[in-house]
Amino acid sequence: MSLGRLRVVTAGESHGPQLTIFVDNLPAGLPVLAEDIDVDLARRQKGYGRGGRQQIEHDCVEIVAGVRHGVTMGGPIAMVVKNRDWANWQGKMDIEPVPEPPPPVTRLRPGHADLAGVVKYGLGDVRNVLERASARETASRVAAGGLAKVFLRQFGITIRSHVLSIGSATATHPDDLVLSRTAGDHAWWATVEESPIRTGDLAFEAQATELIKTARTAGDTLGGVFEVIGYGIPIGLGTYGQWDERLDGRLAAAVMSIQSIKGVEIGDAFANAARHGSLAHDVIDYSSEAGWTRPTNRAGGLEGGITNGMPLIVHGAAKPISTLINPLPSVDYATRQRDIAHVERSDVCVLPAAGVVGEAMVALVLADAMRIKFGGDSLEEALANFRSFSESAQ
Which residues are at the interface with ligand EPS (CB under 6 A)? 14, 51, 53, 85, 134-136, 138-139, 321, 323, 344-347
User: What's the closest the beta carbon of residue 168 comes to ligand EPS, in angstroms?
Assistant: 21
For residue 300, the minimal CB distance to ligand EPS (Å) is 27
Nearer to ligand EPS, 135 or 247 (CB): 135
Minimum distance from residue 51 beta carbon to ligand EPS (Å): 4
CB atoms within 10 A of CB 314: 28
Pairing of β 158-166 and β 61-65: unpaired
76, 65 contact by CB (below 8 A)? yes
Q: What is the CA radius of gyration of the chain?
A: 22
Looking at the Cβ atoms of 212 and 313, the one nearer to ligand EPS is 212
The residue (of 30 and 80) whose beta carbon lies closer to ligand EPS is 80
Q: How far apart are CA 248 and CA 256, in angstroms?
A: 12
Query: Is residue 363 within 8 Å of residue 236, measured between CB atoms?
Result: no
| Closer of 17 and 156 to ligand EPS (Cβ) | 17
Closest approach of ligand EPS to the CB of residue 371, in Å: 28
Cβ–Cβ under 8 Å, residues 378 and 73: no
Residue 14 or 307 having the CB closest to ligand EPS: 14
Complex with ligand EPS: residue 237 or 351, whichever CB lies closer? 351
Number of H helices, E strands in the chain: 11, 17
CB of 353 to ligand EPS, least distance (A): 6
- Shortest distance in whole angstroms from residue 27 CB to ligand EPS: 31
Looking at the DSSP bridge assignments, the partners of residue 390 are none
E-only strand ranges, 27-183: 61-65, 67-68, 71-72, 77-82, 158-166, 169-170
Are the C-beta atoms of residues 163 and 199 closer than 8 Å to each other? yes
